[in-house]
Amino acid sequence: MAIVVKIPTQLRAATGGASSASVEGGTVGEVLDALYEQFGELRERIADDGGLRRFVNVYIGGEDIRFLEGLETPVEDGDEVTILPAVAGG
């Protein structure tokens, strides 16, 4: 299943400038793992022991995965996963 992941500008140095990537996976966690396979440097930027760093937000179709099932949230073909910094706003 092809899932599109949108990459924020701050991480594009690690993706060779790409603003999105297409990867396979059945859950958000699997999608991110597949993304790290493609762009190794991304893992150390946003991943923490088994999870995500605390200032990283991940959304599916605009919904924060913390309102869903976190990294276990299932994804379907055509879903769009967005990674964004959490430090904005207020």
Partner 1 sequence: MPPESLTCKECHTVYPLDASYVCERCFGPLEVTYASRADVEAAELRRRIQAGPHSIWRYRDFLPLTSPPPRDTLPAGWTPLLRADRLAERLGLREVWIKNDAANPTHSFKDRVVAVALARAKELGYHTIACASTGNLANAVAAHAAAAGLDSYVFIPSDLEEQKILATGVYGTTIVAVRGNYDDVNRLCTEVSGEREWAFVNINFRPYYAEGSKTIAYEIAEQLGWQVPDRIVGPIASGSQFTKIARGFEEWIEVGLLAGAVPTMNGAQAEGCSPVATAFAAGQDVCRPVKPDTIAKSLAIGNPADGPYALDLARRTGGGIDAVTDEEIKAGIRLLAETTGIFTETAGGVTTAVLAKLAERGDIDPGERVVAIITGEGLKTLDAVRGTFETVEIEPSYDAFEASVEARPAPAQPVAA
Binding site for partner 1 (CB under 8 A): 6, 8-11, 13, 45-46, 53-57, 59, 62, 64, 66-67, 82, 84-90
- Letter for the amino acid at 40? G
DSSP 17-73: T-SEEEEE-SBHHHHHHHHHHHSTHHHHHHEETTEE-TTEEEEETTEEGGGTTGGG-
- From the CB of 13, what's the least distance to partner 1, in Å? 7
Closer residue to partner 1 (CB): 1 or 47: 47
Closer residue to partner 1 (CB): 37 or 41: 41
- From the CB of 62, what's the least distance to partner 1, in Å? 7
